[in-house]
Amino acid sequence: MSNPRPPFVLGIETSCDETAAAVVCADPNQPILSNIIARQDHNTFGGVIPEVAARQHLRTITPTIKRALATAKLKPHEIDAVAATSGPGLLGGLIVGASFGQSFAAGLKRPFFSINHLEGHLLSARIHHSVWFPFLILLISGGHTELMIAHDIGVYQSLGRTIDDAAGEAFDKVARALGLGYPGGEEIEKYANIENDSTENKDTDLILPRPMIGRENCDFSFSGLKTAAFRAIQAKQASTAQVCRAMSSAISDCLVDRTARAIQHYRRIQPHSGHLVVAGGVAANQQIKAALDDLSTRNGMKLCAPPRDLCTDNAAMIAWAGLERLSRCRAMAVDAPRPRWPLTKLAAVG
Ligand code: KG4
Ligand code: ZN
């Protein structure tokens, strides 16, 4: 008897300002069949206006899903399950994506999965790599900075989180103060890599604070660092590149110190080896990734970071989280869209 074909899962992501749709399957050679992102431009208003974003999702969702299916060379009836982000995020956008996904699944009589956006980020490491539970996660995005242990799908233990701004938020706000574009982290990374020649006088380099370093717990804080950067910008104390370098180094050092602390907790349940997964938009940063790689090696762990295009928001990670849940339990899992949805409040599977 021939093997049944692997199931195809359509994923939908509309939690912020990207309308995204993707198709994935469990084929290790080609797990992502399509990954389409329609980015909204909110520069006119200087930020995302939730109602404007929701209307834009409504306009873009049908063509984005059609493109995802066409790129995957699939007809709608060939889709085996549908997964859509149901939180956390902006409610209007979440309602558009989740309602569309649920109706699409109902029309096809296929299971539907409400996916937590953060679970999408952290499981995305498993799309291209064999990462076994329990693994340690550093989730660093625009809205979240958190260290967790993933014991199983849906079973996440928080070790520590930011007590104020997220790392991505600090990058975005400082980038804005410098007159750079969005996403701020990507812009800051670009500027941090220029003017970095050997002729520059290192004595003039700006040093920014590294809050929480050395603390017993695994919490983060980035608001003091952000304020110190604002002051340096206002005082014209340093060039754009110097501020960017100082921001990148300070954030990188904070992430490494807090993660080192989390490794000690992780070692109690996994005394040898194991994976450190870094996920979320900030994980696209090469300097941060290199520092975490070094930390992992020193602690006998393997760093696993998704490729750059899977670090920032996308629908492949949502489809993948749906596929992981489908492969463990075929029952539908529907949760009403919600702006807040901590990872510690998820349903386990199986
Ligand atoms: O995961 P994500 O796309 O959206 C959220 O779920 O928040 O993360 C967006 C965040 C933004 O704050 C952005 O500035 C940051 O990720 N980011 C980066 C880089 N690319 C995006 N931060 C540092 N370096 C980058 N290369
Ligand atoms: Zn995200």
Nearest CA to ligand 1 atom 7: 142
Say if ligand 1 is within 6 A of residue 281 CB. Answer: yes
Across 107-118, average pLDDT: 96
Of ligand 1's atoms, which has the minimum distance to the CA of residue 168? 12
Q: What is the mean pLDDT of the chain?
A: 93
DSSP letters of 305-343?
A: ---HHHHSS-SHHHHHHHHHHHHH--S-B-----S---G
User: pLDDT tier at 332 (50, 70, 90 boundaries)?
Assistant: confident
Distance in Å, CA 120 to ligand 1 centroid:
15
Looking at the predicted structure, is the pLDDT value of residue 201 above 90?
Answer: no
145 within ligand 1 shell (Cβ under 6 A): no
Q: For the segment 23-71, what is each residue's pLDDT rounded down to a tens digit?
A: 999 998 999 999 999 988 776 666 788 999 999 999 999 999 999 999 9
Interval between CA 285 and ligand 1 midpoint (Å): 9
Residue pLDDT, tens place only, 113-160: 999 999 999 999 999 999 999 999 999 999 999 999 999 999 999 999
How many whole angstroms from 106 Cα to the centroid of ligand 1?
A: 34
Dist. CA 43 → ligand 2 center (Å): 19
C-beta 15 within 6 A of ligand 1 = no
**pTM of the full structure:** 0.95
Ion ligand 2 nearby residues (CB, 5 A): 141, 313
For residue 303, what is the DSSP state?
A: E
Ligand 1 centre from 236 Cα, in Å?
Answer: 26
Q: What is the pLDDT of residues 263-274, one digit of tens each?
A: 999 999 999 889
Q: Which ligand is nearest to the CA of 285?
A: 1
Q: What is the pLDDT of residue 199?
A: 43
**Which of 84, 77, 117, 79 lies closest to 98, judged by CA?**
84
Which H/E stretch holds residue 152? strand 145-152
Q: How confident is the model at residue 209 (pLDDT cuts 50, 70, 90)?
A: very high
CB-based contact 218:258 (threshold 8 Å)? yes
Taking the C-alpha atoms of residue 169 and residue 53, their distance in angstroms, rounded to an integer, is 19
- pLDDT bin (cut points 50, 70, 90) of residue 2 is low
Q: Can you tell me which atom of ligand 1 is nearest the CA of 175?
A: 14
